[in-house]
């Protein structure tokens, strides 16, 4: 029996129909599965890109915090040193008191100017 004779017979036609149907079904299943996987892949890639930018910004922030630790410590010392001298209450009374203390501690000699 030759191949062409077998394919022309009813049994060969049924076999070919079964093979073509199986290929179509297989293609549909693969396409459906791969399409779903491709969509999932795209969604995950978008999430990964977002997380990469978050990681980069967190690294930059950590680097900046490490660099500014010394500056923040100096600022804290400065603030603590000057908090005691801050004006509390009446600012006008504070100005008058400071001027009076300055006049007592740094007296100004009488300067006499003569024309001529």
Position 35 in a domain: yes
**pLDDT band at 36, cuts 50/70/90?**
confident
Whether pLDDT at 116 is above 70: no
- Would you say residue 14 lies in a domain? yes
- Cα 106 to Cα 87, 98, 113: the distances in Å are 22, 12, 21
Phi, psi dihedrals of residue 88, rounded to the nearest 5°: -120, 140
pLDDT of residue 25: 92
pLDDT digits (tens, 9 = 90+) for 57-102: 999 999 988 888 888 888 888 888 887 777 777 888 888 888 888 8
- Would you say residue 56 lies in a domain? yes
In a domain, 113, yes or no: no
What's the pLDDT band for 53 if we cut at 50, 70, 90? very high
Cα–Cα distance list, 40 to 33, 36, 106 (Å): 11, 6, 80
The total domain count for the chain is 1
What is the structure's pLDDT at 81?
82
Could you tell me if residue 112 is inside a domain?
Answer: no
- Does any domain span residue 90? yes
| DSSP secondary structure string for all residues of 16-74 | HHHHHHHHHHHHHHHHHHHHHHHHHHHHHHHHHHHHHHHHHHHHHHHHHHHHHHHHHHH
- Identify the domain containing residue 45 by its residue range: 3-103
Q: pLDDT-derived band of residue 41, with 50, 70 and 90 as boundaries?
A: confident
pTM above 0.85?
no
Q: Is the pLDDT of residue 108 over 80?
A: no
Q: Has residue 88 been placed in a domain?
A: yes
Q: Is residue 81 situated within a structural domain? A: yes
């Amino acid at each position: 029996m030759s191949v062409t004779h077998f394919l022309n017979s009813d049994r060969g036609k049924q076999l070919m129909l079964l093979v073509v149907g199986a290929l179509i079904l297989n293609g549909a299943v693969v396409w459906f599965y791969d399409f779903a996987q491709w969509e999932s892949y795209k969604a995950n890639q978008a999430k990964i890109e977002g997380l990469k930018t978050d990681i980069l910004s967190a690294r930059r922030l950590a680097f900046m915090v490490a660099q500014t630790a010394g500056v923040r410590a100096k600022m804290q010392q400065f603030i603590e040193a000057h908090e005691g001298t801050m004006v509390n209450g009446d600012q006008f009374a504070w100005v008058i008191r400071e001027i009076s203390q300055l006049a007592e501690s740094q007296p100004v000699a009488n300067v006499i100017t003569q024309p001529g």
